[in-house]
A and B are shown apart, each in its own frame.
Chain A
């Protein structure tokens, strides 16, 4: 058990909603969530199709441990072809939506086709209906959830949907659930918008049953006892990383012109916890997703006297605050050291449904275009788009959420924006997706991880952190990246979060939970093979979509301009030396194509 063994298929073109049995042969080979969703997408759509066409499908996939009592067992993944990248997209989210979908009885929700008019999907266990979304189309994520919550009057109903950014096909629109958790990356919200699907409301009462509930309960308690380092994560959240990368010299600043930000101490956990001159403290409390025993979420308030919200009481409440990635993207990447401005821009991302990493990365690129004179006030609509301008950040964030003015250009993402204005090298992206909060020069393994990530630049497809903080030498990096990509693929497919891995858990703890919850024997060898199979299947999807070795690369700045300070001072990313070894370790040829032998070994031929 642990799987519900059924999927819900909704065809927006015909309006049909059908419950089907889960393909258990695929579940045994791909586990769930990211892996299983990718298998269904790979088998059911042509990867060469346009991401925003009716041919694309969007899959909401839970894992076998989603909805169980395992700590952090609330994750789900949105799998589709990415609107930002044209590559496989698998955006993972927490909150409470995933557990609710699983308890409604579904491992996967597959959405296909395009609705003629805006609709939303209403699920209460076996009762499934498509409803007219005329009244909520054009509303923000927050307004939509409030309106539908008032309509259904069920406090346990959960929502995952899009804001205006998804409706207007912002290339990095995300799917937001529970108001401030998001399947954030690669433009999965734009795919939802292209299908005229506003939101999914779900309520489930069926529960989730492990293979042997008593044995599973025992294992859950055993592994929870090994989560010994959770207090720091609960207190400081992922934001603790900003001091580490800034000290190390790997915090991307001013569109990666630098790797250290003078204003980092205005965005760090201390700044978040310390009252400002008005007596206002940014953080209110921490928050946890379904079943989580860590609680890394930041629940924050903007200083009501801050320029961004001064006469706007609707933004004076507490909501999802800055985490490390948002503090980088809406902070150091743009040279902004104003914690309230960055928090406001983060609120806007949640409200309108945008990926803050790509928004911040694109604004940073635009700031550099403005700085070198490639664009001016006539293009920006008069906004002084200077590095460090908190006012410009806030203005542009709102315009982008609405798809208005220069915001429509920012909504294209940095790659398309920089191409449009004649400087493609200024987009700090891989496969069109903006960098996360680590520089690939002082963290060479992260550079390789970005370049080879199947969904475009990402800090969560591999785990090179420990090795990178130990040494900038490249020996061993390819092995660390290749092996951890497989491990992460397995963990993402379980329905659990990656963060227990930073709080005391090892791979064996995750494996033990899967083995206790799911039918058949999930030993270490099978875990490794499953992770590799998922990683290679994603690669095969991308190859069919037209991506190849030319896309496993980094921006010129990272390959040719040495880092200015820090432990990596004077270094560029030595990708060309690491990539051949990485391909070889994966059993791929010199062009990055899995060999026939590798495919046969993984039962992919």
Chain B
């Protein structure tokens, strides 16, 4: 299935080739978990981010347990500060 993923802030520079400004579509197997989805994004391991699915913050320890659906709105935010 195809899942839409949005990468905000500087994370957008790690979108797969051919993506629009800050969105990409990732093809994953039905029943895949969030950690599998994240492994398909070319984000360097040292880059920190938080994940929001359908406006709900997801805890890091739950990444392997959360099943992804095709209509999920997956957002990755860099934890920047100030401004």
Asked whether A244 lies within 8 Å of B8 as measured between CB atoms, the reply is yes
Number of A-B contacts (CB under 8 A): 74
Asked whether A243 lies within 8 Å of B50 as measured between CB atoms, the reply is no
Asked whether B80 lies within 8 Å of A244 as measured between CB atoms, the reply is yes
Asked whether B83 lies within 8 Å of A243 as measured between CB atoms, the reply is no
Specify which chain B residues have a CB less than 8 angstroms from the CB of A471 in the assembled complex: 57
Measured between C-beta atoms, what is the minimum distance from A190 to chain B in Å? Answer: 25
The listed residue (A232, A466, A567, A569) touching B9 by CB distance below 8 A is A232
Q: Is A389 an interface residue (CB 8 A)?
A: no
Specify which chain A residues have a CB less than 8 angstroms from the CB of B80 in the assembled complex: 240-241, 244, 465, 502
Asked whether A469 lies within 8 Å of B8 as measured between CB atoms, the reply is no
Measured between C-beta atoms, what is the minimum distance from B24 to chain A in Å? Answer: 15
The listed residue (B6, B50, B77, B83) touching A238 by CB distance below 8 A is B83
Cα–Cα, bound, A528→B50 (Å):
30
Specify which chain B residues have a CB less than 8 angstroms from the CB of A567 in the assembled complex: 52, 55-57
Asked whether A460 lies within 8 Å of B82 as measured between CB atoms, the reply is yes
**Residues 220-264 of chain A: 1 if any B CB is under 8 Å from the residue's CB, otherwise 0?**
000000000000100110111101101111000000000000000
Q: Is A270 an interface residue (CB 8 A)?
A: yes
Cα–Cα, bound, A244→B12 (Å):
11
Measured between C-beta atoms, what is the minimum distance from B31 to chain A in Å? Answer: 26
Chain A interface extent, by class = 35 or more
Instruction: Name the interface residues of B40-56: CB closer than 8 Å to any CB of A.
Output: 50, 52, 55-56
Cα–Cα, bound, A248→B75 (Å):
9
The residue in A236, A244, A466, A565 that gathers the most chain B C-beta atoms within 10 A of its C-beta is: A244
Specify which chain A residues have a CB less than 8 angstroms from the CB of B55 in the assembled complex: 249, 565-567, 569
Asked whether B9 lies within 8 Å of A472 as measured between CB atoms, the reply is no
Q: Is A145 an interface residue (CB 8 A)?
A: no
Specify which chain A residues have a CB less than 8 angstroms from the CB of B81 in the assembled complex: 463, 465-466, 501-502
Specify which chain A residues have a CB less than 8 angstroms from the CB of B22 in the assembled complex: 243, 270
Asked whether B83 lies within 8 Å of A325 as measured between CB atoms, the reply is yes
* Chain A residue with Cβ nearest B76: A247
Asked whether B82 lies within 8 Å of A465 as measured between CB atoms, the reply is yes
Asked whether B9 lies within 8 Å of A236 as measured between CB atoms, the reply is yes
Q: Is the interface of A mostly helix, strand, loop or mixed?
A: helix
Q: Is A459 an interface residue (CB 8 A)?
A: yes
Q: Is B70 an interface residue (CB 8 A)?
A: no
Specify which chain B residues have a CB less than 8 angstroms from the CB of A469 in the assembled complex: 50, 77, 79
Measured between C-beta atoms, what is the minimum distance from B7 to chain A in Å? Answer: 9
Q: Is A323 an interface residue (CB 8 A)?
A: yes
Cα–Cα, bound, A241→B21 (Å):
16
Q: Is B78 an interface residue (CB 8 A)?
A: yes
* Also in contact, A498 and B8, with CB within 8 A (given A247-B77, A248-B77): no
* Chain B residue with Cβ nearest A324: B83
Asked whether A244 lies within 8 Å of B78 as measured between CB atoms, the reply is yes
Instruction: Name the interface residues of B64-82: CB closer than 8 Å to any CB of A.
Output: 75, 77-82
**23 A-B pairs with C-beta separation under 8 A:** A236-B9, A240-B9, A241-B80, A241-B82, A243-B22, A244-B77, A246-B8, A247-B6, A247-B8, A247-B75, A247-B77, A270-B22, A323-B83, A460-B82, A465-B79, A465-B82, A466-B81, A469-B79, A501-B82, A565-B55, A566-B55, A567-B55, A567-B57
Q: Chain B: residues with CB nearer than 8 A to chain A?
A: 6, 8-10, 13, 21-22, 50, 52, 55-57, 75, 77-83
- A-B contact sample (20 more), CB < 8 A, given A235-B10, A463-B81, A466-B81: A232-B10, A240-B9, A243-B22, A244-B8, A244-B80, A247-B6, A247-B8, A248-B77, A437-B83, A469-B79, A471-B57, A472-B57, A498-B82, A499-B82, A502-B82, A565-B55, A566-B55, A567-B52, A567-B56, A567-B57
